[in-house]
């Protein structure tokens, strides 16, 4: 029997087919992976977010994808968390990170936005940075390519070969945070690859 505590996994990205499968939308991919793997109910829409409420390994969860653009991710996260009475410390945000090489994961809690507009918006909306982050490495662009073009671009053919593994590991890290806590998950996942 699941207890009354509810966790939220918020995967960040931009809505619409134009942005599907881009580096910036890796958070959406991780939430979709969790939805499929754990056979959660079909998504509903509320507060400018697509979400599904269900149970993963006996834990109550809300999986959500904000449908405002990345830099306005905060209000949908805050409103849905408030609606389901989810504690800030039980919110796990999954997002792309330029400062990590492709394939690297970093679990972090209570840190600044690091220049990520989605995280900046969430910190502003929640009024705190005391949530958990799963930072998914997408690497920096090579040569002269600009950062915006890189994060809004699609994965290279080489990256695509490793993408399923990266998304699966990121999804497993989300479940680990809920089951084992942040410290144990950091020890397990904050490694080279």
Residue 17 burial by CB count (10 A; 0-12/13-18/19+): exposed, middle or buried? exposed
Three-state secondary-structure class, residue 187? helix
Phi and psi of 96, rounded to 5°? Answer: -70, 150
Query: Is 37 known to be catalytic?
Result: no
The two tokens of residue 108 are 């972090």
What are the start-end ranges of the E strands in 20-176? 44-46, 49-56, 59-66, 91-97, 105-109, 132-137
Helices (H) and strands (E) in the chain, counts: 6, 7
Catalytic residues: 24
């Amino acid at each position: 029997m699941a207890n009354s505590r509810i966790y939220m996994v918020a995967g960040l990205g931009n809505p619409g087919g134009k942005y599907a499968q881009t580096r910036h939308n890796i958070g959406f991919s991780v939430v979709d992976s969790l939805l499929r793997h754990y056979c959660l109910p079909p998504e509903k829409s509320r507060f400018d977010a697509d979400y599904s409420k269900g149970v993963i390994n006996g834990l109550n969860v809300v999986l959500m994808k904000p449908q405002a653009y990345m830099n306005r991710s905060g209000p949908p996260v805050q409103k849905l968390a408030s609606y389901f009475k989810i504690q800030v410390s039980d919110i796990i945000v999954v997002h792309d990170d330029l400062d990590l090489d492709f394939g690297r994961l970093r679990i972090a809690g209570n840190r600044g936005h690091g220049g990520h507009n989605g995280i900046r918006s969430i910190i502003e909306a929640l009024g705190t940075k005391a949530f958990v982050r799963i930072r998914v490495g997408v690497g920096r662009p090579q040569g002269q390519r600009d950062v915006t073009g890189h994060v809004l671009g699609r994965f290279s053919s080489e990256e695509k070969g490793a993408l399923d593994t990266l998304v699966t590991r990121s999804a497993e890290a989300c479940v680990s945070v809920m089951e084992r806590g942040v410290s144990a998950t950091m020890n397990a996942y904050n490694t080279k690859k």
